[in-house]
Structure 1
Amino acid sequence: MAKQEIAIKTQDGTARAGLFQPSHRPASEVPGVILYMDAFGPRPALDAMAERLASEGYVVLLPDLFYRYGDYGPFDAQTAFSEEPSRTALRGMIGDTTQDMTRRDSAAFLDALTQAGATGRIGTVGYCMGGSRAINAAAAYPDRIAAAASFQPEQSAVLAQALRRAEIDHVIENYVGMAHGWAVPDSRVYDARGAERHWKRLLTFFDETLR
């Protein structure tokens, strides 16, 4: 499944993104997914995850949330937080790429996904840093995003309470024994069994909400 590199015009510049088309298209409208990256940036590990989603019949967009920094890497997921100068650089990029920036960018991401052929419902999924951004995008564009999945969100109890108050249909699971980043294959704490559990839950969720 070929990855297409595209450029997306945003309010703040031009974001590069990977676009992954499904190998088979359903007879009805084609659903789409925006995959919000973790802190280490778009790279082969995330490409593989996007490809797996595309193989299930989704048009998948993997945007670079750090595009404001130009050419920066990506970072090595094994060592970026344990070595300098990557640790300082990475923390700065995470802090300076605000939720509001990603929220604004998501309007352009949605347009790009639609232009790429995602004519059906759209979902979002994010990992680590991207988890809260996937949820915030759905909150900002409820008329366009039908479902959001977040893996490793902080303050899950607070989130659950907010979702109940808002009467949002939701499920929150605790992956006991899994460390932060367990679902991404190049993570130093990757857990194959936990990752497959996450895939089963994610694909079932999107199948129920986007098709």
Structure 2
Amino acid sequence: MVKQDIAIRTQGTAKAGLFQSGRPPASEAPGVILYMDAFGPRPALDAMAERLAGEGYVVLLPDLFYRYGDYGPFDARTAFSEEPTRTRLRAMIGDTTQDMTRRDSAAFLETLTRAGATGRIGVVGYCMGGSRAITAAAAYPERIAAAASFHGGRLANDAPDSPHLHVATIKGRVYVGSAGVDESFPPEQSARLAEALRRAEIDHVIENYVGMAHGWAVSDNKVYDERGAERHWKRLLTLFDETLR
């Protein structure tokens, strides 16, 4: 597996990891953007990008917090339970808007194209990245054929930039894997998102991972669950195999 540390010129300069199998990309190779969780790019997310690259995808893992310079990454086990990191992290999440990531995603897609991923693109996000994946699919429907969110929060909230308000433009498939009990994506938001996707006639699945806590799919999270993580991999790889090949 080959990882390149690159810089992407967008609304500033975003650091990113570009992951490939080491073999020359096939004609019209499929690509994947992995939208990070709240703790930033780090070895746990690198390992997930490497696994996707091993399946034949050109994978981009951008730093969505690039506007903050050298900030971490944060420790996924303690960042929300200790000050001052909790306050700082919440501010960074709130200040990195959906619109910022939507605009950045044009540069992310162009980066994948230059890397040889000229075929269909899939997007997947975790935690705060889940909403970004759906937002990107709505903003770039001609390129993004599949979007997945795992323990994504605020997917159908009351804000004007809530992802569910913009799903009508999506042309690909959507998969949402929610934690069993998650304050950031309560049942009323799940119902609101389901209604928006159905009304827009989007091919979608919303699946509840009973017994899983927010963050279960990422290995360095304190609530990581190996069995639940492997279930998530099965769903994700099936989605991408069926839509991007």
TM-score by length of 1: 0.97
1:119-198 map, 5 Å: 119-153=118-152, 154=185, 155-198=189-232
AA aligned to 2:221 is S
Tell me, yes or no, if the aligned pair for 1:23 and 1:54 is still in contact at 8 Å: no
Partner SS state of residue 204, structure 2 = coil
Deviations 1:166-201 (A, max 9, x none): 111011111000000000000000000000000000
Matches within 5 A, 1:46-61: 46-61=45-60
In the TM superposition, residue 29 of structure 1 has moved relative to its aligned partner by 2.0
Give SS of 2:209's match.
Answer: coil
- Spell out structure 1 runs of 4+ moving beyond 3 A: 23-28
Check the 8 A contact 2:25/2:117 in 1, yes or no.
Answer: no
Which residue in 1 is equivalent to 2:238? 204
The letter of the residue matching 2:132 is: R
Residues of 2 paired with 1:120 and 1:61: CA distance?
Answer: 14
| Code of the aligned partner of 1:98 | T
Q: 1:203 to 1:25 in 2, by over 3 A?
A: farther
**Equivalent in the alignment of 1:81:** 80
Q: Which moved more, 1:15-24 or 1:102-111?
A: 15-24
Partner of 1:6: 6
Structure 1: gaps spanning 5 or more residues: none
Structure 2: runs of 5+ lacking an equivalent: 153-184
How many residues are matched? 210
- The higher relative CO (CA closer than 8 Å, separation ≥ 6) is in 1
Say if 1:122 and 1:147, in contact at 8 Å, map to a contact too. Answer: yes
Cα pair 1:23 1:57 within 8 Å, conserved: no
Letter in 1 for 2:202: I
